[in-house]
């Protein structure tokens, strides 16, 4: 099956025309040998390449190209299947935009396309090519620094936090993972992540629960999370707890129970964020909405967790207008080199800015992911890059810092 990959990248340094021609000649021969065709566009600072052939061959070439240090910031814009090649004539040809007057460059490029006129009009690859040639893609492009200019500080403890000793008969425990504001090196919230006794995995904990006790156990476990938070020196930080949306619906007086437990541990409702995942279908919508209203009326904030990965999606923003949205890790992983993820996350950020909803990126593990997200306007982060969850205490934190020159 014929597949296509398109990417864009930035030149590491200026490459002489001779070296560039040698690269193109060599690539053209190598590509032709495995029936890969395509084109390489250059505007002086950026490359834009189309690779088409069998998925296996295209991926092999793309992986080699990704390792090449003559360019950086590679962003895969499209990976798709097609009935016909766009550049059936050449293994790889160079098209330097600077060789053409502005008003002729699109036509000159389209002359090279080996599709019928009808196909050209509707083809996504051709639309991507036009966008690059006309410079429209730059309106949304976020240029990030090279990651090797950054390093992480050694993990440092946040104040001197005591480790909380849970009671021996406690059915579950909590690990804490901070949500951080990197620009001001502050912890803004600590998420309490459920664990079994002695730190057993969440899967082990849930496995020993009977289906009928699921919601009750979910709600009641929060009292342990608040107890742990009450023993920490939280100051202006909030404590974030996860709750199944249906726990608020199925259990009578769930919200009163939460408020009572919060106060019992010496916390204020304003210090608590309830994170609801959108991965469970909310079957009694009105009852859920009324519970959310009660939470908010009491001063508790609401965050939509794993946003972008579940069932309900964007309409939840209209119905509940949460205070915070946590973008799911599936959208965050490798965002720096994925055009589709960048487009989706940019749209989420724009939407949340219009609604004054705070955006948190979760599952951040790489400096490059953080650099892109920061460039896109995200301020709050959670992930192994900064801190791993720690059982019954706050973990030490690493901060990104510029490497000394
Ligand atoms: C912008 C750019 C585009 C490239 N395109 C191709 C290509 O289409 N095919 C290819 O084999 N190599 C391409 N290369 C070169 C590869 O990165 C790599 O250097 C080369 O495939 C190694 O070939 P060798 O194993 O024969 O030395 C490209 C490099 C750059 C910087």
pLDDT at 318: 86
Question: pLDDT tens-digit profile of 95-124?
Answer: 999 999 999 999 999 999 999 888 899 999
* Residue 312 pLDDT exceeds 60: no
Pocket of ligand 1 (CB under 6 A): 23, 27, 30-31, 40, 47, 49, 61, 64-65, 68, 70-71, 92
Q: How far apart are CA 21 and CA 397, in angstroms?
A: 48
- Express each pLDDT in 50-75 by its tens digit: 999 999 999 999 999 999 989 999 99
The H-or-E segment that residue 243 falls in is strand 238-243
Closest alpha carbon to 129 in 44, 59, 41, 43: 41
Whole-number pLDDT of residue 321: 86
- Ligand 1 centroid to residue 24 C-alpha, Å: 8
Which pLDDT score is estimated for 311? 61
Q: How much is the pLDDT for 137?
A: 87
Of 10, 24, 25, 30, the one to substitute when testing ligand 1's pocket (max ligand atoms within 8 A of C-beta) is 30
For ligand 1, the distance from its centroid to the CA atom of residue 63, given in whole angstroms, is 10
Among left, alpha and beta (phi > 0; psi -120 to 50; other), residue 198 is: left
Q: Are 382 and 188 in contact (CB under 8 A)?
A: no
360 has pLDDT over 70: yes
Pick left, alpha or beta for residue 53 (phi over 0 → left; psi -120 to 50 → alpha; otherwise beta): left
Mean pLDDT value of segment 26-36: 96
**Which residue CA neighbors atom 15 of ligand 1 most closely?**
65
Give me the residues paired with residue 358 across strands: 324
Average predicted confidence (pLDDT) for the chain: 93
Question: What residue ranges define each of the domains in the chain, with the CATH number in brackets?
Answer: 2-141 (3.30.70.100), 148-402 (3.20.20.450)
pTM score: 0.92
């Amino acid at each position: 099956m014929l597949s296509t990959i398109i990417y864009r990248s930035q030149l590491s340094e200026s490459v002489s025309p001779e070296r560039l021609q040698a690269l193109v000649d060599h690539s053209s021969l190598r590509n032709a040998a495995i029936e890969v065709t395509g084109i390489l566009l250059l505007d002086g600072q950026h490359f834009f390449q189309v690779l088409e052939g069998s998925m296996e061959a295209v991926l092999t070439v793309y992986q080699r190209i990704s390792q090449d240090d003559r360019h950086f910031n590679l962003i895969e814009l499209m990976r798709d299947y097609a009935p016909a090649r766009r550049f059936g004539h050449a293994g790889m040809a160079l098209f330097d935009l600077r060789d053409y007057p502005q008003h002729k460059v699109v036509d000159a490029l389209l002359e090279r396309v080996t599709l019928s006129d009808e196909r050209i009009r509707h083809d996504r690859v051709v639309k991507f090519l036009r966008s690059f040639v006309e410079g429209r893609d730059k309106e949304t492009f976020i240029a990030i620094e090279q990651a090797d200019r950054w390093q992480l500080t050694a993990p440092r403890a946040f104040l001197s936090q005591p480790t909380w000793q849970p009671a021996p008969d406690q059915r579950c425990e909590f690990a804490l993972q901070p949500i951080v504001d990197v620009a001001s090196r502050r912890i803004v919230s600590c998420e309490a992540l459920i664990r079994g006794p002695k730190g057993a995995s969440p899967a082990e904990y849930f496995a020993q629960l009977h289906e009928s006790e699921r919601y009750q156990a979910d709600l009641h476990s929060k009292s342990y999370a608040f107890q742990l938070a009450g023993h920490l020196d939280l100051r202006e930080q909030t404590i974030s707890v996860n709750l199944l949306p249906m726990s608020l619906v199925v259990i009578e007086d769930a919200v009163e129970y939460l408020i009572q437990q919060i106060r019992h541990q010496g916390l204020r409702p304003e210090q608590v964020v309830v994170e609801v995942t959108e991965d469970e279908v909310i079957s009694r919508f009105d009852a859920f909405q009324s519970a959310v209203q009660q939470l908010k009326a009491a001063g508790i904030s609401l965050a939509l967790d794993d946003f972008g990965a579940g069932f309900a999606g964007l309409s939840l923003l209209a119905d509940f207008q949460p205070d915070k949205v946590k973008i799911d890790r599936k959208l965050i992983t490798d965002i720096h080199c994925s055009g589709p993820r960048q487009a989706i996350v940019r749209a989420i950020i724009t939407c949340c800015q219009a609604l004054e909803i705070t955006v948190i990126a979760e599952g951040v593990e790489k400096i490059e992911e953080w650099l892109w997200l920061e460039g896109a306007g995200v301020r709050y982060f959670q992930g192994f890059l900064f801190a791993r969850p720690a059982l019954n205490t706050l973990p030490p934190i690493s901060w990104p810092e510029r490497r000394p020159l």
